[in-house]
Amino acid sequence: MNTNSEQNIYEAKQIKKIPKKHSPYFHLLLFALTFITTIIAGMDWTAVGVSSINLESFMRGLPYAVSILFIITCHEFGHYFAARYHQVDATLPYYIPFPPIPGFLNFGTMGAVIRTRSAIQNNKAMFDIGIAGPVAGFIASVIVIIIGYSYLPSIDYLLNIHPDYFLPEYGQQYIHLEFGDTILFSFFRDIFSRPGEFIPPMSEIYHYPYLCVGWFGLLITAMNLLPVGQLDGGHIIYSMFGEKKQEIISTITMIVLVALSVIGFLDSYFGFNINFGWPGWIVWALLLYFVIKIKHPPVAQFETLDARRRMLGYFAIFIFIVSFSPMPFNIW
């Protein structure tokens, strides 16, 4: 149980951070803009580009846009319905469009967020709201990956994009982008591999909209499940183990992220060929430290979670393990 002073401080902060209530049409506008930017991203990833926008190019970008919005929507409405179940006032999702910028990886969106407009009074509600999003988003990501591998096009699809794919000089004049493998993505690749059938390597899956989006969904799920501050993972670990253990686990997580960024930096710029770690983790670590914060704020009432919730919590930890990639991007 927290002291009254801690509770008053926490509730005062919550009151100050109450977001402005917007019309549903504002949320629909953001959704429409995000739909457009993800269509453009889908056209880019499938190598259509935006130089010639027509019905055919639109249809090439559509599977990417629909599947990524499906995952984001499942994640955010998981939070939303859990909040409503616990009578916590929450906004509809704010979809965040991301227009194409030269030199940046363009996924067409920076996700979506919902904002709570009333304080969450106990850790059971905090747990339910925190876990509902990543579990829903994870299930949606698995569905999209299964669709991607179940309806995998023939090698001709990739040859239409890269006619020189099987030539020795392929890619020598271009920058290579390879998505980092994960336990779960590797599992599905092995399950769906058949003798004589071409399975795209991790350096080519960005041309396959369902595989690209499914992989991206796992990445976002894992990043949200990091047990830091007010990330979903922070909510879950705090609700399961309490304030002190959450802070310890959060600190260890931050150290690991910094270590992965250092290893990635050494690998990228000094040619150590470790193939482990990513320099970009330092940016994420800084955002967590200065914006999200390491320590989870206290709730008014803290009780031991029941067995069902604890099992769900351990399932969320499992999701994080099988979805996390120490080196999500490898560019050379």
Long-range CB contact pairs, 10-13, < 8 A, 24+: 10/119, 10/297, 10/298, 10/299, 10/300, 11/119, 11/300, 13/297
Per-residue pLDDT of the chain (332 residues; tens, 9 = 90+): 344 434 444 444 444 456 566 789 999 999 999 999 999 999 988 876 555 667 788 888 999 999 999 999 999 999 999 999 999 999 999 999 998 776 677 899 999 999 999 999 999 999 999 999 999 999 999 999 999 999 999 999 999 888 888 988 887 777 788 999 999 999 999 998 888 889 999 999 999 999 999 999 999 999 999 999 999 999 999 999 999 999 999 999 999 999 999 999 988 777 777 788 999 999 999 999 999 999 999 999 999 999 999 999 999 999 999 999 999 998 87
* Cα 283 from Cα 292, distance rounded (Å): 13
H/E run at residue 315 = helix 307-323
Strand, coil or helix: 95: strand
Handedness of CA 133, 257, 228, 95 (dihedral sign): negative
Contact 70, 8 (CB under 8 A): no
pLDDT of residue 218: 97
pLDDT of residue 133: 98
pLDDT of residue 172: 75
pLDDT of residue 144: 98
pLDDT of residue 225: 98
pLDDT of residue 19: 59
* Cα 128 from Cα 115, distance rounded (Å): 15
Contact 65, 210 (CB under 8 A): no
Which of 258, 304, 252, 303 shows the shortest CA–CA distance to 284?
Answer: 258
> Residues with Cβ < 8 Å from 202, sequence gap 6 or more?
178, 179, 180, 181
**DSSP classification of residue 226:** S
Length of the chain: 332
**DSSP classification of residue 205:** G
Contact 224, 257 (CB under 8 A): no
pLDDT of residue 48: 62
